[in-house]
Structure 1
Amino acid sequence: MQTPSVSHDHASVSASITLAVLHAAVRLGLEREALLVSCGLTEEQLVDPDARVPFTIQEHLWQLLGSSLPLAEPGLAIGVNLAPGPFSVLGYLLQSSQTLNDALNVGMRYQRLVGEGGEMHMQELAEGLQIQYRPLHPSLPATRTRVLALMACWVQMFNPLIEDFHLLSAQFAHEQPEDLSPYQQIFACDLQFNCAEYAVVLPHDLRSANLIQANQPLEGLLRQHAEALLARLPSQGLSTRVVALLGEQLAHGEPHRGELARALNLSERTLQRRLTDEGCSYQQLLNDTRRQLAERHLSSGKLPAAEIALLLGYSEPSVFFRAFRQWTGLTPGEYRARHNSPGR
């Protein structure tokens, strides 16, 4: 699985989707005010649907939902309770598209308007069209909840818009759960787990299917608005894209600078020169990414430090322990104990 070209520090999501997630959580029995306080959100931040919320805040919201909802798969329940409207201009633009293929292209172009917590990609397979979602920080527990909600919402959105809408398969990066009934009820197709990507596969002939709510004049107006909103989003520098790629490659061992450069269609020399122009270096970005992910794993989960070391690409836990002490002055155990101490 490749990662999206946005970093955790600068990524943001729309206020409308954050508000929609809160609405869904309330329908499932959670208290809105408590969630807002826990995430550090205010109602004022959510008034304008086109406003932006830091991805770190919404990621914390997903973490809370995953631990607070007494359900086997909280993400699927949230996704079923999300409606197209909360996706603001993109949701309405998808619905007004002429065909499913048009809608998919719209989703690809304007996906950042909803959020920068991941990227959609399409790939032609022999059996059908695969629509992939590559999340930022795929190894974090909150990511499973978030991605399942998104995938369930995809199905909920398109099912009433296309006659005979159906999937050939749904693919998940996590292990197969004991209870498959929530998955079967939503996706109604072949379910595959421990996959390289989170994805759904559609029949090729569905791409030309007309959408029931197609509205060409409205689509044109919405595209103008979407383009204006897209232009307002911050541009993505090379260092941002490198950090995102590093976050994924670390889970498979020590990243290789040459492979990362090739993924960006650059030579190693050009990669280093352009990073220098942005005031950083490959090694600095690697260290910073490892530190951020290490602190996040230690503060938000219960993974043993040795497993975290593997997720960060270290061949030996002792190397990770030494690096972490250099970064923070603490051992991983001391950092976790301090973070989880009463009153924090």
Structure 2
Amino acid sequence: MSERTTSSSWAIGIVNALEMGGVDCRTLFSELGLDYAALGDADARFPQDGMTRLWERAVQLSGNPAIGLNMASVVRPASFHVVGYAAMSSRNLKEGFARLVRYQRIIAEGADLSFRPVDDGYGLILAIHGDRLAPARQSAEASLAYTLAFCRWMTGRPLQPREVRFQGEPPADLAPYRQVFQAPLRFNAEHYALIFERADLELPLPSANESLAQLHDRFAGEYLARFSGSRVTHQVRQVLCRLLPQGEPKRDAVAQSLHLSQRTLQRRLQEEGTSFQHLLDDTRRELAIQYLAQPNLTLLEISYLLGFADPSNFFRAFRRWFDTTPGEYRAKL
């Protein structure tokens, strides 16, 4: 199956953040079977699950579950690959966020970003996906911390979000979160998100440059086209996420929404080392982990959100995925 990957640019940022926290990343990369030397190659990519293991081991070694917040201290546009420069040359943060969403996969395929108006403001909404491993919360926290610090750096102002939202329970020590975000924090939220005042995102950026923005758009578009190639896996996952709450998606409906014939869809997925059924199962498994982290959702609601007509089918699938029941899994969370 085609693995999700993370750019070396973003991986360097993670390494810098971990080393600030006293973690010896060169040794850790070797332990995890990751290529430390590849960090110097701008086109290198690292497997998503490898990055998840990196976060998990770093937390164990440092004893600091908030180590992801160190990303706020290692800000440089290059961490966002060409996307960082495209955002900088945008007219304002609103336009910069639109570019960030458009080119997100260049930085890391494990994250899905969306940007939309919310309650008289704007929300940058983040979802982190794993491949075989559930994503580390440090990965999401690092993304939020870095993005906010980058916005402050671009604007030259101490930008304060209206609210910062986190999935899952609040940590035992909130002090580092308050220090980094300097904004109201909300836990057990539906999504990870930065919520901004409308006016803050519509102020002109000091680095705005229309011709440079167009140039970076071209570079980013070319990179994305080269990198994506024929990868239809990511597009199928997105369609499945959208369709699942309406019931189990059928292959023909997914093919139709991608303007492909069923036969072409099947062939393209086969070329990428996967199948429609495998992707459906995989997407449900990932979403199940995310939904169970939200205490406001009942197991019955989660079952329907995952497109299971009968909750007993959800329980059977969950036991096959994790060798435990959804209730036991949630209790451990």
- TM (norm. structure 1) is 0.72
Moved more, 26-35 or 68-77: 68-77
Q: Is the CA contact (8 Å cut-off) linking 2:168 and 2:188 kept in structure 1?
A: yes
Q: Is the CA contact (8 Å cut-off) linking 1:239 and 1:275 kept in structure 2?
A: no
Equivalent residues in 2 for 1:198-217 (5 A)? 198-217=192-211
Which residue in 1 is equivalent to 2:120? 127
Q: Does 1:170 align with 2:164?
A: yes
Which residue in 2 is equivalent to 1:301? none
Q: In the alignment, residue 127 of structure 1 is paired with which amino acid?
A: D
Q: In the alignment, residue 193 of structure 1 is paired with which amino acid?
A: F
Which residue in 1 is equivalent to 2:296? none
2:226 equivalent among 232, 238, 243: 232
C-alpha distance in structure 2 between counterparts of 1:29 and 1:231, whole Å = 38
Change in Cα spacing, 1:317 to 1:113, as seen in structure 2 (3 Å) is closer
C-alpha distance in structure 1 between counterparts of 2:232 and 2:57, whole Å = 32
Unaligned runs of 5+ in 1: 1-7, 297-306, 325-330, 334-344
Which residue in 2 is equivalent to 1:304? none
C-alpha distance in structure 2 between counterparts of 1:216 and 1:50, whole Å = 26
Change in Cα spacing, 1:107 to 1:70, as seen in structure 2 (3 Å) is same
Moved more, 108-117 or 39-48: 39-48
Q: In the alignment, residue 191 of structure 2 is paired with which amino acid?
A: E
CA-to-partner distance for each residue in 1:54-103, whole Å, 9 max, x for gaps?
A: 22322222222233222241211244334333223222222232211221
Moved more, 209-218 or 161-170: 209-218
C-alpha distance in structure 2 between counterparts of 1:202 and 1:84, whole Å = 21
Q: In the alignment, residue 219 of structure 1 is paired with which amino acid?
A: A
C-alpha distance in structure 2 between counterparts of 1:218 and 1:321, whole Å = 49
Q: Does 1:66 align with 2:35?
A: no
CA-to-partner distance for each residue in 1:106-143, whole Å, 9 max, x for gaps?
A: 21222121111111101212231011012113996643
* Partner SS, residue 149 of structure 1: helix
Q: Does 1:185 align with 2:176?
A: no
* Partner SS, residue 161 of structure 1: helix
Q: Does 1:319 align with 2:316?
A: yes
Q: Is the CA contact (8 Å cut-off) linking 1:79 and 1:148 kept in structure 2?
A: no
1:56 equivalent among 27, 32, 49: 49
Equivalent residues in 2 for 1:1-344 (5 A)? 9-137=2-130, 142-162=135-155, 163=157, 165-235=159-229, 237-243=231-237, 256-258=247-249, 275-278=265-268, 282-287=276-281, 315=312, 319=316, 323=320, 332=323
Moved more, 103-112 or 77-86: 77-86
C-alpha distance in structure 2 between counterparts of 1:48 and 1:239, whole Å = 25
* Cα shift at 1:287: 4.5
Change in Cα spacing, 1:125 to 1:287, as seen in structure 2 (3 Å) is closer
Q: Is the CA contact (8 Å cut-off) linking 2:165 and 2:191 kept in structure 1?
A: yes
Q: Is the CA contact (8 Å cut-off) linking 1:137 and 1:247 kept in structure 2?
A: no
Q: Is the CA contact (8 Å cut-off) linking 1:137 and 1:248 kept in structure 2?
A: no
* Cα shift at 1:15: 1.0
What is the RMSD of the two structures over their aligned residues, measured on CA atoms?
A: 4.0
Q: In the alignment, residue 112 of structure 2 is paired with which amino acid?
A: E
C-alpha distance in structure 2 between counterparts of 1:191 and 1:44, whole Å = 38
C-alpha distance in structure 2 between counterparts of 1:174 and 1:291, whole Å = 18
* Partner SS, residue 160 of structure 1: helix
* Cα shift at 1:317: 9.7
Change in Cα spacing, 1:26 to 1:247, as seen in structure 2 (3 Å) is farther
C-alpha distance in structure 1 between counterparts of 2:164 and 2:150, whole Å = 16
Change in Cα spacing, 1:318 to 1:134, as seen in structure 2 (3 Å) is closer
Tell me the matched-pair count. 302
Q: Is the CA contact (8 Å cut-off) linking 2:90 and 2:210 kept in structure 1?
A: yes
C-alpha distance in structure 1 between counterparts of 2:47 and 2:154, whole Å = 31
Q: In the alignment, residue 256 of structure 1 is paired with which amino acid?
A: G
Q: Is the CA contact (8 Å cut-off) linking 1:62 and 1:142 kept in structure 2?
A: no
* Partner SS, residue 200 of structure 1: strand
* Cα shift at 1:10: 2.8
